[in-house]
Amino acid sequence: MHTVAVLALDQVIPFDLSTPIEVFSRTRLPDGRPGYQVRVCAERDEVDAGAFAVRAPWNLEGLQGADTIVVPGVTDPTAPLSPAVRDALRSAAADGTRIASICTGAFPLAATGLLDGLRATTHWRAAGLLTALHPDVDVDPDVLYVDNGQFLTSAGAAAGVDLCLHMIRRDYGSAVAADAARLSVMPLEREGGQAQFSVHDHVPAPQGSELEPLLAWLRENLARDLTLADIAAQSGTSTRTLIRRFREQMGTTPLQWLHRARIRQAQHLLETTRHSVERIGGQVGFGSATTFRDRFKRTTGVSPQTYRRTFS
């Protein structure tokens, strides 16, 4: 039987803690046998889980010999990782144990150094912070989960279920995973990534950034056919200087930021108006409805029509 150890760190998010416990504990093989043994492990006798405390039946030694370790999210992702937990996770990794994180559980996992040089994800609101704290990790804020083989990471909340179902499919095949998905009242595969949920939230410039006036101007002029030269002229700099400042302060290029801002505005219009897709595309600066549909789906993972049906 496959053993899953769920690591309850201090300030663990209860939803993230319960997800792997419920999904793996309820998984059954075709002959009715349980597919997994689940251990809940913690460094101390009692763990703070916000509204309540958790008393785990296993200490860190319970991680030893597990086939999979799951690190749920924590409310303070900047909290330092204890040396004992770090060493336990690194030792498990050296033994070949599969290690997965849910939501902000990517932060303690990244603090071990095990994600360095790898692609990873976390909740979209925390992606920028993960990049800042762990620059050697290639953070992808748009996907529901990332599978690097031994190390896996997921976005927040329901994406943890997606990741658990994915691991079940790896372990026992699609039929067992599909049955587990039905018990969770979840599709085995969801369309789109978490970008579709990060609705019209503009990534702010750092406080006091010289880019703040330019970003405000860009938001007011999304419908215009702007080129890099137009943006540089508005900022009073060369295109080379503009690109350098954007990368330093925003972590992206001016045109990539502009495309994202247009999609965020399109999401807002799809939710709050009955304007046609063609009209909305024009309102946010896309020259054709086809271009708008293609860009929208590449960014959010779903079509404008599907997004409207889901969120309007």
Give residue 112's pLDDT. 97
Q: Which residues on neighbouring strands pair with residue 6, listed in sequence order? A: 40, 70
pLDDT value at residue 200: 45
With 90 as the cut, is the pLDDT of residue 251 above it?
A: no
User: Which pLDDT score is estimated for 21?
Assistant: 96
DSSP H or E run through 41 = strand 36-41
pLDDT in tens, 78-91: 999 999 999 999 99
Per-residue pLDDT reduced to its tens digit, 208-234: 568 888 988 998 999 998 999 999 999
CA 82 to chain centre: 24
Query: Measured between alpha carbons, how far is 135 from 241 in angstroms, rounded to an integer?
Result: 23
> Given this model, what pLDDT does residue 194 score?
60
Average pLDDT value for residue range 90-108 = 96
How confident is the model at residue 199, as a pLDDT? Answer: 47
Angle 189-122-242 from CA coordinates, rounded to 5°? 115
DSSP codes joined into one string, 160-188: HHHHHHHHHHHHH-HHHHHHHHHHTT--S
Amino acid identity for residue 171 in this structure: D
Please name which of 196, 226, 181, 139 lies closest in space to residue 310, comparing C-alpha atoms.
196
